[in-house]
Amino acid sequence: MSDSYNPPDTPLSVLHEDHEILVVDKPSGLLSVPGRGEHLADCLIRRVQAAFPTALLVHRLDRDTSGVMVFGLTPHAQRHLGLQFEHRRTKKIYVARVWGKLEPKTGEVDLPLCVDWPNRPRQMVDHENGKPAQTEWKVVKTSDSESRVRLFPRTGRSHQLRVHMLALGHPILGDPFYAEGAARDFPRLMLHSEELRLLHPDGGEGMRFRAKAPF
């Protein structure tokens, strides 16, 4: 990551808080956890813990991705939620704007992914060494130049949605790693975690949290 890290100076946006969990709307441009070096110290978990000292990390979003993130407020909640993510019991829905007219209107990408070591943190499709990764998509609307889509990841690989859309020939707009030319020339990565469904750690009630995409 470059030294030009300038995280947004925005107040913490809390979507839900109770005795076990905290749900927030992460802004684009903010790391989920600190990077290496003091210049990368500002991050969502530190901002959250300044207001909620017992908050514990459960999952991450990429720096440039915005949207719904959940934190455990107790060790029990962190373990419970972590197992839900590990065993794919959560449901995540993303909104993205991608380059070009994506057809057909619905489909699935099933391509294994692994890190592109010489170009970290980039990931790549690798049928020999990659881990399984599946993403379903549904087109919301299109124009001649772009498509608005909802993405439903069935796995949670690093950069999964970004690489899968690239593999379809429709990179996510504003992506600093995978988009090129006009597709890259946007003020931010046009990817947002719109909805997260999970089971509450205290009693197992199904819960749904949403944050409207800012684009």
| pLDDT the model gives residue 2 | 45
User: CA-to-CA distance for 1 and 63, rounded, in angstroms?
Assistant: 10
Short-list 142, 150, 167, 153, CA closest to 96? 150
CA gyration radius for the chain? Answer: 17
Identify whether the C-beta of residue 26 lies closer than 8 Å to the C-beta of residue 15. no
pLDDT tens for 137-153 read 999 999 999 999 999 99
What average pLDDT is seen over the chain? 96
CB-count exposure of residue 6 (10 Å: 0-12, 13-18, 19+): exposed
Q: From the candidates 18, 25, 42, 62, which is the catalytic residue? A: 62
Q: Is 9 annotated in the active site?
A: no
The structural domains of the chain, ordered by start, are: 14-89 (3.30.2350.10), 94-191 (3.30.2350.10)
pLDDT tens for 1-33 read 444 899 999 999 999 999 999 999 999 999 999
| pLDDT the model gives residue 4 | 86
Region 196-209: what's the mean pLDDT? 98
Q: In this structure, how many other beta carbons lie within 10 angstroms of the beta carbon of residue 203?
A: 7
